[in-house]
Amino acid sequence: MLALLSQQDSYAYELASRLAADVGMGEGTIYPLMRRLQSDGLVRTYLVESTSGPPRKYYKLTPAGRSAYTAQKAEWLGFVDSINAALREPR
Amino acid sequence: MLALLSQQDSYAYELASRLAADVGMGEGTIYPLMRRLQSDGLVRTYLVESTSGPPRKYYKLTPAGRSAYTAQKAEWLGFVDSINAALREPR
DNA sequence: ATCGCTAACTTGCATAGCAAGGTATCATGC
DNA sequence: GCATGATACCTTGCTATGCAAGTTAGCGAT
């Protein structure tokens, strides 16, 4: 989520569509997550009118969100390395 | 877990030590997980006496465990690719 | 008017992870 | 012979998470 928002502001429905395609994550996961990010101060929101339906609630990373992204990205990469090491390790 | 066991049979305490170091996973996570794997038929157990404490309950992959490992490994690699694509994507 | 798409959100249930605590075995030191 | 510390097993209780399913509403086209 933070990665996607670091690239460009977006709204939950769009993020949900994208993540549904990529990793099988649905709206029921996204909306509560966005709330959590907001209450943690990592994102802020603004409304934008749409011609194709109700107004969209865009999410934008805050400075705290950006540094959380940096930290979590590093943590993720380390985690993946550990797992991949275990997967590779022949024996 | 399945990856580690695909390399060699092991017991929960040892797995816990290793995973604690690698990914910060503790006994409270491991023991229930091993039970789950067993009741799902992915591992079977056998006891081995130890000179340095109580007998060790070794876990060994079943054929079903081995194929679950193959499937989950593929799923994991796909998942990681998706996430990494999102992390890379410059904007 | 109603259908279908966009877009927001909630509810309820099941699962997972973890810290903390509990029990038993064995070797070593006192 | 008994206390300590390491090994090794396991459970309990709480919290967080994910998801399917359902809800509401705006908008355009049939």
**Each residue's pLDDT expressed in tens, for chain B with a length of 91 residues:** 999 999 999 999 999 999 998 899 999 999 999 999 999 999 999 999 988 889 999 999 999 999 999 999 999 999 999 999 988 876 4
Kindly report which amino acid residue has its CA closest to the C1' atom of nucleotide C16. Answer: B29
- CB contact under 8 Å between A91 and B23, yes or no, is no
Helices (DSSP H) in B1-91: which residue ranges? 2-7, 12-23, 27-39, 63-88
Contacts of A5 in chain B (CB under 8 A): none
Q: Convert the pLDDT of each residue in A27-52 to its tens digit.
A: 999 999 999 999 999 999 999 998 88
Instruction: Report the distance from CA of residue A51 to the C1' of nucleotide C2 in Å, as an integer.
Output: 20
- CB contact under 8 Å between A7 and B91, yes or no, is yes
Distances (CA, A) of B51 to B13, B48, B55, B56: 15, 10, 8, 10
Q: Count CA atoms within 13 Å of residue B40 on its CB side.
A: 15
Instruction: Report the distance from CA of residue B28 to the C1' of nucleotide C19 in Å, as an integer.
Output: 8
**Nucleotide of closest approach to B52 (CA, C1'):** C26
